[in-house]
């Protein structure tokens, strides 16, 4: 038989449990949302890294004899390859200016790259396909790497290897509300967007070592 004293004690215990749950619930939600969001962000990063690697692989086989033209076909080929990889992986390539998933949309978006110009020499050092700000695709042909040892010709202690570097910068938006939950339980403001940046560099097979 429950006495009024025991019933009051039991009610008090339930009240304490509810209070503890109320304190822990925001942290539990942040943990669940964080795991889900970071897993999705990591998956996005892997797809982007693979796309950059594929672009660098294609770039390493380009002759780059057309870099003095307005819109080099070799650069467009790399752009199209990266965009097609992303589309096949069900990844939206709009961050690099491709609005659509058809071959014609990809070709059109890749036909007019932006240019990175050296302020001292005026030479073009890279090509960009950015949708807004610095988000998108950057291609750096004839990227110079200083090497040593077995990578260099005989009797040369150091040498310069020319390579193709492909960079992707992507704005990832939290999908499961991780930023909102963090903002609720913290005094700091957590951005709704984080930047994922990947790059891949591969030696140019058609260029000599100097």
Q: Is 209 a domain residue?
A: no
Q: Which domain holds residue 13?
A: 4-203
Is residue 103 situated within a structural domain? yes
Strand boundaries in 74-123, DSSP class E: 114-117
% of the chain at pLDDT higher than 70: 75
Q: Is the per-residue pLDDT at 78 higher than 80?
A: yes
Instruction: Please report whether residue 25 resides in a domain.
Output: yes
User: How crowded is residue 70: how many other Cβ atoms within 10 Å of its Cβ?
Assistant: 8
175-191 core/surface letters (b: 16 or more CB in 10 A; e: else): ebbbbebbeeeeeeeee
**Is residue 210 included in any domain, yes or no?**
no
Q: What is the pLDDT of residue 176?
A: 61
121 domain residue, yes or no = yes
Higher per-residue pLDDT: 64 or 46 = 46
Task: State the pTM of this model.
Answer: 0.79
Beta strands across the sheet bearing 158-173: 114-117, 124-132, 135-148, 158-173, 193-203
* Range among 3-7, 21-25, 49-53 rated most confident: 49-53
Mean pLDDT score, 182-207: 79
| Number of domains within the chain | 1
């Amino acid at each position: 038989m429950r006495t009024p004293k025991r019933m009051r004690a039991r009610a008090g215990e339930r009240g304490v449990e509810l209070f503890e749950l109320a304190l822990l619930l925001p942290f539990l939600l942040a943990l669940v949302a964080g795991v889900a969001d970071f897993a999705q962000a990591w998956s996005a990063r892997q797809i982007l890294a693979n796309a950059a690697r594929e672009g660098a692989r294609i770039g390493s086989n380009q002759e780059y004899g057309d870099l003095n033209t307005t819109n080099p076909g070799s650069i467009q080929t790399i752009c199209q390859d990266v965009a097609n990889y992303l589309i096949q992986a069900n990844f939206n390539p709009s961050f690099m200016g491709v609005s659509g998933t058809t071959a014609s949309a990809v070709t059109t978006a890749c036909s007019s790259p932006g240019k990175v110009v050296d302020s001292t020499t005026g030479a073009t050092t890279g090509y960009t396909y950015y949708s807004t700000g610095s988000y998108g695709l950057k291609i750096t042909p004839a990227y110079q790497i200083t090497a040593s040892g077995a990578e260099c010709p005989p009797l040369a202690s150091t040498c310069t290897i020319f390579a193709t570097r492909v960079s992707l910068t992507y704005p990832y938006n939290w999908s499961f509300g991780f930023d909102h939950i963090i903002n609720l339980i913290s005094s700091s403001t957590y951005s709704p967007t984080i930047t994922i940046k990947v790059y891949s560099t591969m030696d140019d097979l058609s260029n000599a070592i100097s």
